[in-house]
Structure 1
Amino acid sequence: METIYRRLLRAIPRLGVRVTDLGPGTAVVSRRGTPARIPLQPGADLLARGADRYSVARAGKGVWVVLDKKARNAPEPSGKWTDVPLGDTGAHLLMTENAGANERRFQLAAGAYLCAQHVAGMLAAYGVNCVFDVGANAGQYAKRLRRFGYTGRIVSFEPTADAFARLERAAQDDPEWRVHHFALGREETSRSIHTGWNSMNSLLPPSDYGRGRYKRFAKTQTEEIEIRRLDGVIEQSLEGIASPRPYLKMDTQGYDLEVFAGTGERIADFVGLQSEVAALRLYEGSPEMGEAIAAYEAGGFGITGMYPVTREESTGRVVEFDCVMMRADAAPAKS
């Protein structure tokens, strides 16, 4: 049965105003202009109209946000916002008075957004048409690529059964998103992987530092998985793409350098890569950050961005970075 709220939204346009439906219980009603919705995170949306005019909640003349409180987990904003211009880019950061109170959380959230935005820019600039998503978990990375506008092929690899089931469901309605139920590494083999660590399942045991940082490492289960080399699945993955421009994303909890080794000579085909490199090692036997970056640089890649993934709350030290690297000789020629 249609709710009163939905009937109201359907009737409002007859009054000469515009309705932008944002989802269950949330809509924007505007007298003029075309408001655009820019999703920021669950419970937060940026509403933009015109070149430099931004409005959130009751911020603009003739603009209202109709909000059903049951539809949002976050409390209703206080209405006190700070507009922070981001240099001369024309972009603005809208913050509530307490948004930056937790410096660590704010920095990591900003870093995650900037990393995703940077990757999307690099994929577009380098004409990437196939992303190899290694260590896909439930498909979070691929879904983020889609939200940031990437429309090319995605090939995801996830070896654990539970995560792969969620990954398969996430990709089922996307014809350009392919999924494989195995891991990638230096050699073709079978091995046991530590599971039960949520998104941190690893082929490597935790280090002393890792056990001290994460309680989840105290208990573990194992699962037998298949490992294959990337150079053995590249041709199948690129099938049907006339002029392949692949990009390699790795997030394998300490195993990225093994995945990289499994590309063999085919690494020259990749125009860029992304790897989670550890400043403080969480897994026994994982490479130090300098070792990993040196291997990637030897493969012809140069750093374009480094973004903190996790930080120690007490010291502020970065534990892991997302490192984005591109092959300079693959950059499109300037016109």
Structure 2
Amino acid sequence: MQTLFRRLLRLMPHVGVQVTDLGPGAAVVSRRGGPYEVTDVDAGTKVLSRRGGPYRVTGVDKDTWVLRRTRGGARTAVAEQGVVPLGDTGAVLLIEDPEHQDERRIQLSAAEYLCVQHVTAMLELYGVNCVFDVGANTGQYAKRLRKAGYTGRIVSFEPTSETFARLAKAAENDPDWQVHQCGLGREETTAEIHKSWLTMNSLLPPSDYGKGRYSRFKKSDTEEIRIRRLDEVMDEALAGLADPVPYLKMDTQGYDLEVFAGAGKRVADFVGMQSEVACLRLYEGSPTMSEAVAAYEAEGFGITGMYPVTREATTGRVIEFDCVMMRATSAPEGAA
């Protein structure tokens, strides 16, 4: 026997109302537009869309679907190769027009994302409440941490005046993000820094390999900057934290070991660290990856993640890695 609900649905089109029946007890009514179409996702889930509209549903596995806008609203199926399941996690990677994507750029972007996610997880696991962001540039690293969910203190260091002004602007509405206009190194001094290299300003001159790879190295301006020791700025940076648990991130274009040396005995205060280590030297006098990692391991840090930053397009060789390291003895009790 037909219910009163069903009878009403059958009458509505006669008075200019569009009805889309979704099943027992559910329907969509509209005075304008239509007709609509219903896509069955599973026994209990349906997706309603305007027929000929721009959205399509693609199944990934038994529990996961992707809703995407198709180009120009064309009624074309989403290419299967554009939806990449990430193992058995239920997460997927969406690649628009995969046949025309630069695979190397996708890999490096994925590595950057995974690095930030890994670092954020380590900060949470070890209870970090202050991140030292050395070589902050305009604040890209700090912004990524905030977006990933880190809410603790960030203390950023950037020496060049123009770039520091942009960093200060980025941090002005974040009360727990401090910024300092100085570089960090082995000793208190002043020095000339090479600038106008976009995000790659360095206290070191470029190597022959670096000049061959980056045309920007062939010409540069310099600026005199102040350099401080890390151990001499730590008390100021950690002031107000009842139980400081700091993490050190360094991205100083070949100068990370000099920054690290400036921590002196207080390097033992850090529960973790991150350094850009080089397989191929872009700067004269910069350490190799093996030299840098050995120095960090000698102070009690162990590698938890390695993520490629740049590659050679012609050979596939990694030029630099983001190396994430933690002090296992600082891990909380009971951590598996």
TM-score tier (shorter) = 0.7 to 0.9
Partner residue of 1:257?
257
Partner residue of 1:41?
none
**Aligned mates of 2:88, 2:80 — CA distance in 1:** 20
**Aligned mates of 1:185, 1:16 — CA distance in 2:** 68
Partner residue of 2:147?
147
Partner residue of 1:134?
134
Cα offset, 1:93, TM superposition: 1.9
CA-based RMSD of the aligned residues comes to: 2.7
Partner residue of 2:318?
318
1:55 aligns with 2:66: yes
**Aligned mates of 1:180, 1:269 — CA distance in 2:** 20
- One-letter amino acid of the structure 2 residue matched with residue 80 of structure 1: A
Q: 1:80 to 1:294 in 2, by over 3 A?
A: same
Displacement over 6 Å in runs of 4+: none
Partner residue of 2:59?
none
Cα offset, 1:220, TM superposition: 0.9
**Aligned mates of 2:220, 2:69 — CA distance in 1:** 49
- Encode CA deviations 1:34-67: one digit per residue, 9 max, x unaligned: xxxxxxxxxxxxxxxxx944434248xxxxx999
**Aligned mates of 1:128, 1:66 — CA distance in 2:** 47
1:81·1:94 contact (CA, 8 Å) conserved in 2? no
Q: 1:261 to 1:78 in 2, by over 3 A?
A: farther
Classify the secondary structure of the residue corresponding to 1:119.
Answer: helix
**Aligned mates of 1:103, 1:260 — CA distance in 2:** 35
Task: For structure 2, list consecutive stretches of 5 or more residues without a partner in the other structure.
Answer: 1-27, 31-44, 46-61
Partner residue of 2:199?
199
- One-letter amino acid of the structure 1 residue matched with residue 329 of structure 2: D
1:158·1:182 contact (CA, 8 Å) conserved in 2? yes
- One-letter amino acid of the structure 2 residue matched with residue 267 of structure 1: V
1:195·1:201 contact (CA, 8 Å) conserved in 2? yes
Partner residue of 1:46?
none
Classify the secondary structure of the residue corresponding to 1:217.
Answer: helix
Partner residue of 1:120?
120
**Aligned mates of 1:331, 1:186 — CA distance in 2:** 28
Partner residue of 1:11?
none
**Aligned mates of 2:99, 2:306 — CA distance in 1:** 23
**Aligned mates of 1:285, 1:236 — CA distance in 2:** 31
Cα offset, 1:98, TM superposition: 1.5
**Aligned mates of 1:268, 1:99 — CA distance in 2:** 49
Partner residue of 2:328?
328
Residues 144-223 of structure 1 correspond to what in structure 2 (within 5 A)? 144-223=144-223
- One-letter amino acid of the structure 1 residue matched with residue 66 of structure 2: S
Partner residue of 1:110?
110
Q: 1:163 to 1:230 in 2, by over 3 A?
A: same
Cα offset, 1:91, TM superposition: 1.6
Q: TM-score, normalised by structure 1?
A: 0.78
- One-letter amino acid of the structure 2 residue matched with residue 193 of structure 1: I
Cα offset, 1:320, TM superposition: 0.4
**Aligned mates of 2:126, 2:311 — CA distance in 1:** 31
**Aligned mates of 1:209, 1:274 — CA distance in 2:** 24
Q: TM-score, normalised by structure 2?
A: 0.78
**Aligned mates of 1:318, 1:154 — CA distance in 2:** 29
1:58·1:79 contact (CA, 8 Å) conserved in 2? no
1:99·1:106 contact (CA, 8 Å) conserved in 2? no
Q: 1:95 to 1:232 in 2, by over 3 A?
A: same
Give the length in aligned residue pairs. Answer: 279
**Aligned mates of 1:189, 1:98 — CA distance in 2:** 51
Q: 1:117 to 1:78 in 2, by over 3 A?
A: farther
Task: For structure 1, list consecutive stretches of 5 or more residues without a partner in the other structure.
Answer: 1-14, 18-32, 34-50, 60-64, 68-76
**Aligned mates of 1:331, 1:156 — CA distance in 2:** 25
Cα offset, 1:102, TM superposition: 2.1
